[in-house]
Amino acid sequence: MVIAVDFDGTIVEHAYPKIGRPIPFAIDVLKKLQSECHHQLVLWSVREGKLLDEAVEYCRERGLEFFAVNSRYPDEEYDPAHSARKLDVDMFIDDRNVGGLPDWGVIYRMVKYGETFETAYANAAGGQKKKGLFGLFSK
């Protein structure tokens, strides 16, 4: 799969334009998805120029290299005036998803094993399903 990954709020906490504190397990899970599953990761961020370079370097220093950055292919140049901001990828991992960003253990299970959110959540919690708002109304 080709997976687009956001930076601020997904790999690190929101502190834009600074780089926030690392979100636990984000880099580790992304590296495992590359090494174990051979997925291609694309960094897909609103950051540009120097701020984007800092984000790429932050990840690189922690052993995470992206297939492409703010584009679908490594040699493709992003031009805001002429480039579409919508990528042809299989999946987006972004804190702005409906429902927010799941735990990185849940994300790993969903991507690696193709589990639904509910199944991955239950399995990541060791079978102990937490009752959320909707869980209160189900048997």
For residue 55, being part of any structural domain is answered with: yes
Q: Please give the model's pTM, rounded to 2 decimal places.
A: 0.81
- The CATH number given to whatever domain includes residue 15 is 3.40.50.1000
For residue 42, being part of any structural domain is answered with: yes
Whether the per-residue pLDDT at 46 is higher than 50: the answer is: yes
DSSP string, 67-136: SEESSSSTTPPP-TTTS-S----SEEE-TTSTT-PPPHHHHHHHHHH---HHHHHHHHTTT-----TGGG
- Domain hosting 62: range is 2-75+89-128
Give the whole-angstrom CA distance, residue 61 versus residue 121.
Answer: 30
Handedness of CA 133, 135, 138, 139 (dihedral sign): negative
Structural domains in the chain (count):
1
Amino acid (1-letter code) at residue 94: D
For residue 37, being part of any structural domain is answered with: yes
Give the whole-angstrom CA distance, residue 32 versus residue 127.
Answer: 22
Rg (CA), the chain: 16
For residue 6, being part of any structural domain is answered with: yes
What per-residue confidence (pLDDT) applies to 10? 96
At residue 105's C-alpha, the angle toward residues 70 and 22, to 5°, is 55
For residue 134, being part of any structural domain is answered with: no
Whether the per-residue pLDDT at 17 is higher than 70: the answer is: yes
Q: pLDDT (tens digit, 9 = 90+) per residue, 55-67?
A: 999 999 999 999 9
Q: Are 4 and 10 in contact (CB under 8 A)?
A: no
Average pLDDT score over residue span 15-36: 96
Whether the per-residue pLDDT at 32 is higher than 70: the answer is: yes
